[in-house]
Amino acid sequence: RNFYRRYDLHVHIPEGAIPKDGPSAGVAIATAMVSALTATPVRRDVAMTGEITLRGKVLPVGGLSEKIVAAQRAGIKTVIVPKKNSKDIKELPERAKHGVEIRLVSSQDEVLRIALKKNAWKEKRMDTQHPTYASS
């Protein structure tokens, strides 16, 4: 109940670390934080991309073709993608999507329901009324 009184979060992503371009790791970082704070594991067969707002909305990103092909090559079974990128997904050649289930989402709550191991999220759910996790 006193989640925000008990935890102080700081995320630091230094310039010289893993190459990155833009905010497309937002949903992955948020999912990793929820996983760590609730001791709920993230499925190993899931990859995700998407910018996240302070209210938990998932925004579109670029470079989807490359990201989906990389996930496919890594043996990922499910890729979570912003719903606003659905046009980009439709334009991908079938071979780029072969063997990968693409899940379109519009909120971080949807991401968590897909990415976190089943039943664990329902049992350990944090206060979703806080703006960071609201799905408005």
At 121 the three-state DSSP class reads helix
Element (H, E) at 63: none
Q: Which residues of 15-46 are buried (b: 16+ CB within 10 A; e: fewer)?
A: eeeeeeeeebbbbbebbeebbeebebebeeeb
Q: Which residues are catalytic?
A: 24, 67
Q: What phi and psi values does residue 23 have, to the nearest 5 degrees?
A: -95, 20
